[in-house]
Structure 1
Amino acid sequence: MNVLSTGMGWIDVQYGGLNRYFADYSNAMKEHGHSELGFVFAPKGSHINTDLNIRNVTHEMDIKHYLSRMRSIRKHTHQAMGSFNPDVFNPHFAFYTTMVTRNLIPSHIPIVSHFHGPWALETEVQQTNSATKAVKEARLWIKKQVEQLTYRRTDSFIVLSEYFRDILTETYGVDQRKINIIPGAVDHNRFRPHPNREELRTQLGISSNQPLLFCIRRLVRRMGIDRLIHGMADVVRRHPDVRLFIGGDGPMRAEYEALINQLGLSSNVKLLGRISNEELVQYYQAADVSLVPTLTLEGFGLITVESLSCGTPVLGTPYGGTKEILHQISDDLMFKDGTSESISKKIIDVLNKDSFLPSREACRKHVLNQYTWGRVAEAVTDVFTEEIGKRKRFRR
């Protein structure tokens, strides 16, 4: 079938969980036999290097504002209705498709929306300004209303976790009968164990017996990086040779750098900044444990699955999608809560070998059994087929 999708950005230009999912999802749908046309935004002058049918609708224009992006998505979607003739419209970022009204989509074409998270809530949680509570609540309400314009015209939803299903029903009032839970996946051919892990660790400056912890997150408050750094003070006192590499960038970087220096952790904790996709895989492969200290709005836990696919166990907070993934392996892999004390205690227990940690082989096997793109493409196709059948009566 012809699938018209809209995303947010492109992974080779803008790192992020949604962008990674959209790229891998588009490839999986193509391999499953679908013809897909996707629209994304990339910075002016950026080149999208892919053999997938993905178009940067920014082109040479400098589209910085949301309103301009909405108009651009509306324009290209309207054009695609005639040139591409889609069987299903599949938006992945509701905010950009606000102006794609139902009368723009032929009545026989279902709208199946991927819900990757509450954009309104995420932007409010990440705010660092001093706006009053009333102003913040007003902004949140407006953003939610904009998102709901897309949700109200959606026939069916796909979410990656029970956690996001509950947010979609409780926060946005979506009928649970419209929601399909299809967990995400990982490119297990890219994210795989290294054939010579010790050699890789040597290249990264890590000795064979030196514990290496890894965390990849956008440096914003809700990711819990500050609590992880505070927790590392206790860990380093017990294990002075431990190293923690934190990949990713964001508005809190300067503050976290200062915190590391303040706590005297500069020899043990390193902020890597933004890293390439190739470097990301290498750090997963080299690490003894990956850490996910997210405090809220962790809808699936893509980094958890990526790490497991490389054979590296994961410790995480007992929230959202992280909890759902780790619970399948063992509850011992979760911190008691998101405090720095709980984070440090679990890490110390693991380094002391006083807490369960699955083998690298078991981590990889779990992903191959549960989180492959072939399984996702098949499940999504079933949803599309059902919704297309429901709208057949509208076809003239």
Structure 2
Amino acid sequence: MSAAPIDSLQIGMHWFNERPGGLDRMFQALVDTLPAQGVNVRGMVAGSADVVKASGGRVQSFAGAQAQLGARLLASRRHSRVLRAARMPDIVATHFALYAAPTAGVFRSVPKVVHFHGPWAAESYPGGGGGLSRALRVALERFVYRGATRHIVLSRAFGRLLHETYGVSEDSIRIVPGCVDVAHFDTGLTRFEARRQLGLAADRPLIFCMRRLVSRMGLEDLIDAMAIVKALLPDVLLTIAGKGPLAAQLQARIAARGLEGNVTLAGFVPDETVPLWYRAADLSVVPTVSLEGFGLTTIESLAAGTPVLVTPVGGLPEAVAPLSQGLVLPSGGFRAIGEGMADALLGRLKLPDEHACRTYARENFDRPVVAAQVARIYREAIDVF
């Protein structure tokens, strides 16, 4: 006998199609898939008036993403009261502490679940520093997280961080991995068909990396690593997709290393063509140096049938090691990354084939699989509240 449906209110950050990011992708995935698990969804984010239509009427914008911070916070509280007046939810799920904090007290009699996508304060100041502003962000996060009945993290690594940094009880922490729409990334194309559609050479060894261009992503190490790969495979090509403040510095680094013919910054890649880029590559790589709770790009690559090498940082090993320990590099740094990529392309490192990659992604990280786990935790939170 199926469980009775429950009503959830989801407090997110942005709508994915308007401000792409890992948190926003996960938020949208749950909005789309939780109803099939008996969890009705209403949501609120900072965004345009188009969010309502784009979300099928499930999510509303409480303020523009570019509005003044004070206006956004006031609007968040005001809109939460409107939603409460329309119908009190059975559970409130928060995905972004800044927009959840103003709703304190509005849903006092309702259990809360925190989806911990990452340490907002630390990610805002990845090189340290931040002073008072960072301390205030940590305090705000701690306030929101400690008010929850259950906490969902993407990995054991982030579970430890949530406990040690924010004082959250380990008993309330549950691990649910990230999810992707596996069917979206399974193009049904061969590698060479994907290359032809993208206008890429059919016979060059191709590596793909999709990351925001910020320092914690390890892209400096990745570019330096390509010098090692080029020495063994002179026609190798790495494409780095993404936008961010380091674009000019990375381009200068490429030129300084003499890698203009081997490393390309592709900039923003539309969501509909991302599966083609993964499928076209012989290999993808995630060279993160810090603050990686899971790495959705790992699963996107596997869903496309392309193996992915990751640095042993945060939750990255947890995401791929059950498929093959060989996907986890022995260490970070340009030398380990370069040697690992070269060994993979030369066949000296055995990697899972495309069928194994897709099967692993579908069985463990497809959106319905993960949504079912989230729904169970929501029901648990309601039962123990």
Q: TM-score range by the shorter chain?
A: over 0.9
Q: Which residue matches 1:86? A: 89
Please state how far the C-alpha of 1:349 moved relative to its aligned partner.
0.9
Q: 1:280 to 1:126 in 2, by over 3 A?
A: farther
Letter in structure 2 aligned against 1:104: V
Number of aligned residues: 380
Equivalent residue number for residue 185 of structure 2: 191
Which residue is 1:115 aligned to?
116
Contact 1:4–1:90 (Cα < 8 Å) also in 2:
yes
Q: Deviations over 1:102-144 (max 9, x none)?
A: x31141x1011101010011111157xxxxx5xx343322210
* 3-state secondary structure, aligned to 2:140: helix
Look up the equivalent residue of 1:211 and give its one-letter code.
Answer: P
Q: Report the equivalent of 1:105.
A: 107
1:189 alignment partner, SS class: helix
1:7 aligns with 2:7: no
Tell me the distance in 1 between the aligned counterparts of 2:215 and 2:368: 34
Alignment TM-score, normalising by the size of structure 2: 0.94
Report the TM-score when normalising by structure 1.
Answer: 0.91
Give SS of 1:290's match: strand
- Partner Cα distance (1:85, 1:320) in 2: 37
Q: Report % sequence identity.
A: 36
Cα deviation digits, residues 5-57 of structure 1 (max 9, x gap): 01111111111111111111111112223221111112688886232511122
Summarize deviations over 1:172-206 as a string: whole Å, max 9, x none: 11000011111121101111143343222123233
Counterpart AA for 1:111:
K
Among 356, 360, 372, the residue aligned to 2:366: 372
Distance 2:83 2:209 in 1: 40
Bigger shift: 313-322 or 367-376?
367-376
- Counterpart of 1:72 in structure 2 is 75
Alignment of 1:255-334 (within 5 A): 255-334=249-328
Q: Is the 8 A contact 2:91 2:113 kept in 1?
A: yes
CA contact (8 A) 2:311 2:317 kept: yes
SS at match of 1:90: strand
What is the match of residue 205 of structure 2?
Answer: 211
Q: Give the match for residue 384 of structure 1.
A: 378
Q: For 1:96-245, list aligned pairs within 5 A.
A: 96-101=99-104, 103-107=105-109, 109-125=110-126, 136-245=130-239
Counterpart residue type for residue 123 of structure 1: S
CA offset digits 1:299-328 (Å, max 9, x no partner) = 111110111011000001011121111211
Distance 1:43 1:247, change over 3 A: farther
The verdict on how the C-alpha distance between 1:124 and 1:44 changes in structure 2, with shifts beyond 3 A counting, is farther
Partners of 1:255 and 1:197 in 2: how far apart? 31
**Deviation of the 1:84 alpha carbon:** 3.0
Matching residue of 1:360:
354
Partners of 2:180 and 2:265 in 1: CA distance: 25
Paired residue secondary structure (1:306) = helix
Structure 2 gap ranges (5+): 1-5
CA contact (8 A) 2:363 2:369 kept: no
One-letter amino acid matched to 1:230: D
| Letter paired with 1:379 | Q
Considering only aligned residues, what root-mean-square deviation do their CA atoms show, in Å?
1.8
Matched, 1:95 2:86: no
1:38 aligns to what SS in structure 2? strand
The alignment status of 1:63 with 2:64, answered yes or no, reads no
Q: Whole-Å Cα distance in 2 between the matches of residues 215 and 229 of structure 1?
A: 11
Distance 1:48 1:304, change over 3 A: farther
Which amino acid in the other structure matches residue 63 of structure 1? A
Q: Secondary structure at the match of 2:111?
A: coil
Q: Work out the CA distance in 2 between the residues paired with 1:48 and 1:88.
A: 24
Pairwise CA distance, 1:389: 2.1
